[in-house]
Amino acid sequence: MNKNKWVAAYNDIVKHLYETMDEALHTLGEALEISTEKAGKTSDLSKEDLDKVSGYVKRDVESAAHGLSAKSDDESLSEWFKFDIELIENFTLDAFLSVADKTRIQLAELEEHAKVHKYQSGEITIPGTFICDNCGKEIAFKTTSEIPVCPQCKATTFVRM
């Protein structure tokens, strides 16, 4: 399986998600469904694979929304990504953060409680720093990437720092 296609689909879904949430009042779920359908028109991934990538986008948007709910400046964004946001290349950061902010508002309106999202090896995610659930090893991504197995203990579950 070509993970570059998954990374491209992830970024394409985020781009469409930004446009979709800007066009009308959609919930994150509705906007993701529309965005995934649009991304599917230019991707040769199966519907099942696109749905999986869409799930990764949803996970990351919800995680960012929870992380940004009490913060609102660039310093807190750097904290969330765990490195200087100016170093991030090839990523539609403004689009993603706009979607995350709209999602944050939706989450607040629904009074959802923050939950820890688990990340698995083989999944695609946005830039950030992750901690191995087993040994505590930190790994950082500066672009949309596939999560590898832990380079230290070979575990497969991580949490975003």
Task: Per-residue pLDDT tens, the chain, 161 aa: give them.
Answer: 567 889 889 888 888 887 777 776 677 788 889 889 999 999 889 999 999 999 898 888 777 776 665 555 445 544 555 544 454 444 455 666 666 666 665 655 544 444 567 899 999 998 888 999 899 999 998 888 999 999 999 999 998 87
In this structure, are strands 128-132 and 157-160 parallel, antiparallel, or unpaired? antiparallel
Q: What is the pLDDT of residue 158?
A: 93
Query: How many other C-beta atoms can be found within 10 angstroms of the C-beta atom of residue 30?
Result: 13
User: Quick one: pLDDT at residue 117?
Assistant: 75
Q: Are 113 and 136 spatial neighbours (Cβ–Cβ below 8 Å)?
A: no
- Residue 150, phi-psi category: left (phi > 0), alpha (psi -120 to 50), beta (remainder): beta
**Gap between the Cα atoms of 157 and 110, Å rounded:** 28
Confidence (pLDDT) at 92: 52
Sign of the four-CA dihedral 159, 66, 145, 41: positive
Helix (H) or strand (E) holding 60: helix 47-68
CA–CA distance, 47 with 9 (Å, rounded to integer): 11
Q: What are the phi and psi torsion angles at 114 (to 5°)?
A: -60, 140
Report the alpha-carbon distance of residue 157 to residue 23 in Å, rounded: 36
